[in-house]
Structure 1
Amino acid sequence: MEIVQLVVIGMIASILYLILQEFGAPIGFLIILVSSILIFSVVIKHINGVFQLIHYLGERASIEGMYIETILKIIGIAYITELGSSLTKDAGLSSIATKIELAGKIFILVISIPIITALLEAIINFLPVN
């Protein structure tokens, strides 16, 4: 099972980080970075399958492709933002992590404007005209 391998990689990286941190070695963050990228690269293969399934189901439900693609982009931005934020927090740079999170939220807002617009137009069309 891949999850067991990923957990073992995470545990080994954590132990190495703790050991090297005791000696004051600055390579500890590099271990965190490499292990995070390795774990993310394995997980992204599975996420890609989920994205394809969502796209397929959206087509079957006759949902406009733009909306499905927008939702998938939003999910992708959220995952990438979380990874970047976590890595910078691990490096002790919580102020930069906060800025990364803010940037991710703003990008999600900007990308979601077409969906928000369509939703508001649908609501307006349901309202009675005076």
Structure 2
Amino acid sequence: MEIIQIVGFGLIATVLILVVKEQKPMFAFLLATFAGLVIFLFLLGKIEAIIAVLEELANRTGIPSIYLKTILKIIGIAYIAEFGAQIVRDAGQESIASRIEFAGKVLILVMAVPIISVVVDTVIGLLPAGG
């Protein structure tokens, strides 16, 4: 069970961070960042598998790949922004973390505009012609 490994690693990292934090706060921060990256890298294979399944589903249903790629980019932006904001929060910089989250939201909106346009065009196409 991978979750047991992840939680175990997280608990060990937390204990180390708490022990080191009193003497070397900067080292504790670097250790926390490193632990977060290790957990992310551990999950990378799972993320790749999910992407492969979604691509296969999109191919079978005939959904253009550009839409799937855009949605995956949006999800990626959300995760990266959250991850970055949490690291910055761990360093005690709440205002910068908030700006990272805001930037992520703006970039998500920018990426979503083409999909929103297609949805609106589709809905307009379904409406009966006025007259």
Pairing 1:77–2:85 present: no
For structure 1, list consecutive stretches of 5 or more residues without a partner in the other structure.
none
Secondary structure, in 3 states, of the residue corresponding to 1:26? helix
For structure 2, list consecutive stretches of 5 or more residues without a partner in the other structure.
none
Report how far residue 56 of structure 1 moved. 0.6
Relative distance call for 1:25 and 1:86 in structure 2 (3 A) is closer
Q: Deviations over 1:53-96 (max 9, x none)?
A: 01110110111111111111111111111111111111111111
TM-score (norm: length of structure 2): 0.93
> 1:119 is matched with which residue?
119
Which stretch has the larger CA shift, 70-79 or 15-24? Answer: 15-24
> 2:22 is matched with which residue?
22
Q: C-alpha distance in 2, partners of 1:35/1:72?
A: 25
Q: Which amino acid aligns with 1:41?
A: L
Q: C-alpha distance in 1, partners of 2:121/2:12?
A: 52
> 1:3 is matched with which residue?
3
> 1:44 is matched with which residue?
44
Q: C-alpha distance in 2, partners of 1:24/1:30?
A: 10
Alignment RMSD (CA, Å): 1.2
Which stretch has the larger CA shift, 43-52 or 2-11? Answer: 2-11
Fraction of identical pairs, as percent? 41
Q: C-alpha distance in 2, partners of 1:45/1:85?
A: 23
> 1:98 is matched with which residue?
98
Q: C-alpha distance in 2, partners of 1:83/1:110?
A: 20
TM-score (norm: length of structure 1): 0.94
Q: C-alpha distance in 2, partners of 1:80/1:39?
A: 13
Report how far residue 20 of structure 1 moved. 1.6
> 1:57 is matched with which residue?
57
Q: C-alpha distance in 1, partners of 2:67/2:25?
A: 48
Q: Deviations over 1:29-66 (max 9, x none)?
A: 01101101110011121011101101110110111111
Q: C-alpha distance in 2, partners of 1:70/1:26?
A: 37
